[in-house]
Homo-oligomer: A and B are copies of this chain.
Amino acid sequence: MTARLTSASSAPVRQSSVRAHNLALVLSTVAESADPPSRAAVAAVTGLTRATVSALVDDLIAGGLLTELDPPPRTGAGRPAAGLALASTGPAGLGLEINVDYLAVCVVDLTGVVRQRLVEHADQRPAVAADALTALGRLAARARHAAEADGLVVAGAALAVPGLVSAGSVLDAPNLGWQNVDALALLRGVPELADLPIVVDNEANLAALGELRVAGGEQTFLYVSGEIGIGAGLVIDGQLYRGARGWSGEIGHVTVHPGGRACRCGSNGCLEQYAGQEALGAGEPQAAAALGIALAAVVNLLDVPVIVLGGAYATYFDRLRDGIEAELRRRVLTARLAPVTLRAARLGTNAAVRGAADAVVRGVRDDPAAWLRRVG
């Protein structure tokens, strides 16, 4: 990160916001260095004075965000400098996921490593929302205790749900049978989570953000999540596109056969009825063709160069690939000019819960000053 603090007005910049900016700058400089940098190296990269960097580093170490590694053995003249690294015993993110046929939780540390992961396979459709979220809370508590025994401090939680979310409420999750479920309030009522900041988001959005972190140079792609339902997260120039009301990505309800099968959403011929996990079990060629039709529509509309398949599609990727690509070649107007890259999610079937935990970690990394205020 080389961005400096800039201001679009001539209003004075507050001292506290300069410090917040510089804390984030130092932390990201350490995070993005190939080798653990010394304080002097951080000063050189950021353009801050060595005294300023040292004061900021001391605060970040005290807050559990950075750790100072032992210097390498002395080989020449002078004292070798200690290297700085993100702390693997500091704040961590708790990812939560409720899906139609499983509950999942994971804990990711500041360095991005998954430290705990628990999955409970069970059909959630018979459960009322409060019971399902209580069960998820119990699972989360187990992962949290184990993480804390490992020296980590859970900084917050994010819940991934397969449905339309607005301000912490799940407005509609047809595959779970949820309508207007205040998931945030229910989770806050779970004793083991009551002390944590919690956010609720669509599972494909969180998964897309998770993939973005490990996507290398790919900054524009469509992530598609294949579960009982099908969702998508659209990343454009490194930013998640959420739509006007936050409801983008409902690819599962794109019509692929106008006169086709009835869907739980009230429409018919939806992609979900041909390529959802249940249909996938019944016949992969049909699922691949339906996916190809819907994905060709996305590419024709948005000129997206990369499609990432996650969830069950990551598992079945090799068996779906040819069928999808055949439809893309046929139905994408520009296929002949530039082929579309189709690949399995790097985070595999865990992208959503991992992306949820990552979102919390990213929040701490982007604003370490807020974390220091909490623990200071």
Contacts and interface: CB of A to CB of B under 8 A. Distances in A.
Interface of A: 3-4, 6-10, 164, 171-172, 174, 220, 232, 234, 236, 241-251, 253-258, 265-267, 289, 293-294, 296-298, 300-305, 330-334, 337-338
A264 to B, nearest CB: 10
Given A8-B4, A255-B331, A303 B243 contact: yes
A300 B253 contact: yes
A256 B334 CA distance: 18
A78 to B, nearest CB: 32
A300 B245 contact: no
Contacts of A331: 253, 255, 267
A182 to B, nearest CB: 16
Contacts of A246: 303
Copies in the complex: 2
A216 to B, nearest CB: 16
Contact of A245 (B254, B257, B301, B338): B338
Contact of A248 (B10, B245, B296, B303): B303
B266 A164 contact: no
A68 to B, nearest CB: 30
Contact of A244 (B265, B266, B305): B305
A325 to B, nearest CB: 14
A267 B164 CA distance: 33
Contact of A302 (B243, B303, B334): B243
A164 B337 contact: yes
A302 B241 contact: yes
Contacts of A304: 243-244
30 contacts: A6-B6, A6-B7, A6-B8, A172-B334, A172-B337, A174-B333, A244-B303, A244-B304, A244-B305, A245-B334, A247-B303, A247-B333, A247-B334, A248-B301, A248-B302, A250-B301, A250-B334, A251-B300, A253-B332, A254-B297, A254-B300, A254-B301, A255-B293, A255-B297, A258-B289, A258-B293, A294-B297, A297-B297, A301-B302, A302-B302
Contacts of A4: 8-10
B330 A245 contact: no
Contact of A300 (B241, B250, B293): B250
Given A8-B3, A267-B331, A334-B164, A245 B303 contact: yes
A360 to B, nearest CB: 25
A21 to B, nearest CB: 13
A234 B10 CA distance: 34
Nearest to A5: B8
A239 to B, nearest CB: 11
Contacts of A266: 330
Contacts of A171: 337
